[in-house]
Chain A
């Protein structure tokens, strides 16, 4: 009843091409942005911002990155963790070499390093595809992990082998380091994520995004129709790694504060792949839904026994957690293999004809 596009006419090409052609959708987007930018910082306490919202946004951005590669360009990758690592280490090196440059610029710049590395490891995708490609991305994952350990220059010869975030400020506000407030970091992360998501959304709607989707659906046919596989695949790797790199840099600088190789291991690659698949391949909002689901659910599970007053050992909860996540992944894939985003659009369709679905 409320969600109906009847009477909303498009009278120009521009209106027809709009990102959100339906008025109610526009309203919803603005409402979400308002809640995220104003509501959450006002209400949320430090725990909520630090342990839920900031990591959720960061992982959502990484999921958007992987979604570009896997969901839109059809190249399966398990190297996400390492590409995030490249971003983080690049950002760390950049900010220690040029301490006076604004940290946000450095974070975006580190994405370019990640994009370059991503393109190099994307080269085999021109010859191979599918599960074979998984192995080449795993090669990237393990090789880069090894580099993060063995090349001491990357972490400035720190004896602990970790990168520690120095304090950086801009316009008198402390942005990174231990004394930066959660609200500042949250707002910064949110701004970067919103802007980059908006850019990704428009890249995908445009010529480049369409060429990715053609490659995904059938690369030989796409080639015959004039899409260059070289350009399309490598640009997908570059853009995807750029997003992952920025997410990785933000992960260390705005969330963890210090990081070692373990923060970028193959388990993180899996985690983000889960988010993408559960959310829905080839859907930006799916990336956010998947990230929310995979990140927030375990926190709830850990907290749940406390609420209902049962004492359970931490290790047992952890094991149950694994089982539940595994079970839920299987469950969701069985009921809807196209992910939460598809469930969402089915729901929207139902809403559109409610209460008279004839």
Chain B
């Protein structure tokens, strides 16, 4: 009886009694949700355009951020370093297409998936070799990102908003809007969607698969760089980020693999859900539930809606 009370009534009483705290928790969940959503966005971009489940997205985030920080450490001004980092992500995209993907057209999905894991290992080794394995701090101020925080008085309490978090949310929103326009309105965007639908049919109407893949990996690289900057500004830039990037998987599940709005909504649901659960229910289980809660939400969710929130209905024929 006491347990049921702890599960079903107590947390809500707590929430109602400390509204300001609830708001703070929700905001923090919102912020980490945006970051999950950004990583998930990188996955979705590549999955949409090539059907490749790009496991390397997580390490691309780390790699992009490390490149930026590493270049700046060499004495290059921040904005020049940013441009150079973008150029390096472009180079990476072209290399991946040339060396890896070109040879694997028409292979089963799992093979492409494995190749991206191979790429992950390669990038981990390469990144550690070049930049060293220890965590580095992001060059937040040099990039002109706001720091500091604002305190709001609400519900007889306070809610603290970090300016950086606000900036992260705004930049993500702009980027998502930009990507949506890019996908739906431009010529290349249409070509991307055609490739996603059917490789062969796209080839037969004159779309260059190689070019499209390089472009989409580059787009994912830009998303990775943005994510890397935002995340790096919140904590340090280290290879541990890569495990956090796995959290993008349940986000994808919630949102559906092919939907950009899905990635955003999924990210927010997971981010807020796991913070709420950790704060109000986590104590019952001894804490540390953040590690698996997202996956369990995704699991339960999948049982009822296998194609995700916004995914296209899966129709199968024999």
Once A132-B253, A329-B114 are accepted as A-B contacts, the answer to whether A143 and B100 lie under 8 Å apart by CB is no
Check if A293 is an interface residue, CB within 8 A of chain B. no
Interface centre among B104, B120, B252, B318 (most CB of A within 10 A): B318
Check if A218 is an interface residue, CB within 8 A of chain B. yes
Contact with B along A120-134 (1 / 0, CB 8 A): 000010011011101
Q: Is the CB of B129 within 8 A of A320?
A: yes
CB B247 to nearest CB in A, in angstroms, measures 10
**Cα distance A329–B289 when bound, in Å?**
34
Q: Is the CB of B291 within 8 A of A333?
A: no
**Cα distance A221–B298 when bound, in Å?**
28
CB B260 to nearest CB in A, in angstroms, measures 17
Q: Is the CB of B298 within 8 A of A139?
A: yes
Once A134-B249, A337-B104 are accepted as A-B contacts, the answer to whether A143 and B115 lie under 8 Å apart by CB is no
Contact with A along B285-318 (1 / 0, CB 8 A): 1101101100110110011001000000000111
Q: Is the CB of A138 within 8 A of B118?
A: no
Q: Is the CB of A142 within 8 A of B295?
A: yes
Q: Is the CB of B103 within 8 A of A334?
A: yes
**Across-interface contacts of A266 in B (CB, < 8 A):** 243, 246
Contact with B along A306-338 (1 / 0, CB 8 A): 000000000110111111111111100110010
**Across-interface contacts of B289 in A (CB, < 8 A):** 146
- Which of chain B's residues 101-127 have a Cβ closer than 8 Å to chain A? 103-104, 107-111, 113-115, 117-126
Q: Is the CB of A281 within 8 A of B110?
A: yes
Interface centre among B104, B109, B118, B298 (most CB of A within 10 A): B118
Interface centre among A70, A277, A326 (most CB of B within 10 A): A326
Q: Is the CB of B292 within 8 A of A330?
A: no
Q: Is the CB of A325 within 8 A of B129?
A: no
**Across-interface contacts of A149 in B (CB, < 8 A):** 288
**Across-interface contacts of A337 in B (CB, < 8 A):** 104, 107-108, 111
**Cα distance A319–B134 when bound, in Å?**
13
Q: Is the CB of A124 within 8 A of B299?
A: yes
For chain B, give the interface size range.
Answer: 35 or more
**Cα distance A266–B291 when bound, in Å?**
12
**Across-interface contacts of B123 in A (CB, < 8 A):** 326
**Cα distance A134–B289 when bound, in Å?**
20
Check if B42 is an interface residue, CB within 8 A of chain A. no
Q: Is the CB of B318 within 8 A of A143?
A: no
Interface centre among B114, B249, B289, B303 (most CB of A within 10 A): B114
Check if A205 is an interface residue, CB within 8 A of chain B. no
**Cα distance A330–B118 when bound, in Å?**
6
- In the complex, what residue of chain A is closest to B122 when comparing beta carbons? A326
Q: Is the CB of B292 within 8 A of A142?
A: yes
Contact with B along A181-202 (1 / 0, CB 8 A): 0000000000000000000000
Check if B53 is an interface residue, CB within 8 A of chain A. yes
Indicate which residue in A131, A134, A319, A327 contacts B129 across the interface (CB closer than 8 Å). A319
Q: Is the CB of A329 within 8 A of B303?
A: no
Q: Is the CB of A135 within 8 A of B124?
A: no
Check if B27 is an interface residue, CB within 8 A of chain A. no
Check if B213 is an interface residue, CB within 8 A of chain A. no
Q: Is the CB of A319 within 8 A of B299?
A: no
Indicate which residue in B107, B109, B117, B292 contacts A143 across the interface (CB closer than 8 Å). B292
Q: Is the CB of B129 within 8 A of A127?
A: no
CB A161 to nearest CB in B, in angstroms, measures 13
**Across-interface contacts of B291 in A (CB, < 8 A):** 142, 145-146
**Across-interface contacts of B77 in A (CB, < 8 A):** none
Once A124-B302, A274-B117 are accepted as A-B contacts, the answer to whether A327 and B122 lie under 8 Å apart by CB is yes
CB B178 to nearest CB in A, in angstroms, measures 27
**Across-interface contacts of A346 in B (CB, < 8 A):** none
**Cα distance A325–B292 when bound, in Å?**
29
- In the complex, what residue of chain B is closest to A76 when comparing beta carbons? B110
Q: Is the CB of A135 within 8 A of B299?
A: yes
Contact with A along B210-254 (1 / 0, CB 8 A): 000000000000000000000000000000000100100110110
Indicate which residue in B115, B122, B125, B295 contacts A333 across the interface (CB closer than 8 Å). B115
- Which of chain B's residues 75-116 have a Cβ closer than 8 Å to chain A? 99-100, 103-104, 107-111, 113-115
Q: Is the CB of B133 within 8 A of A315?
A: yes
**Cα distance A355–B192 when bound, in Å?**
50
Indicate which residue in B100, B122, B285 contacts A334 across the interface (CB closer than 8 Å). B100
Indicate which residue in B129, B306, B316 contacts A316 across the interface (CB closer than 8 Å). B129
- Which of chain A's residues 100-142 have a Cβ closer than 8 Å to chain B? 124, 127-128, 130-132, 134-136, 138-139, 142
Q: Is the CB of A139 within 8 A of B299?
A: yes
Residue positions of B touching A, CB distance < 8 A: 53, 99-100, 103-104, 107-111, 113-115, 117-126, 128-129, 133, 243, 246, 249-250, 252-253, 257, 285-286, 288-289, 291-292, 295-296, 298-299, 302-303, 306, 316-318
Residue positions of A touching B, CB distance < 8 A: 70, 76, 124, 127-128, 130-132, 134-136, 138-139, 142-143, 145-146, 149-150, 218, 220-221, 224, 266, 270, 273-274, 277, 281, 315-316, 318-330, 333-334, 337
Listed A/B pairs (27) with beta-carbon separation below 8 Å: A130-B109, A131-B257, A132-B306, A135-B253, A135-B295, A136-B302, A139-B250, A146-B289, A220-B316, A277-B114, A318-B128, A319-B128, A320-B125, A322-B122, A322-B125, A325-B121, A326-B120, A326-B122, A326-B125, A328-B118, A329-B117, A330-B100, A330-B118, A330-B119, A333-B115, A337-B104, A337-B111
- Lowest 3 CB-CB distances: which A-B pairs, in order? A322-B125, A326-B122, A326-B121
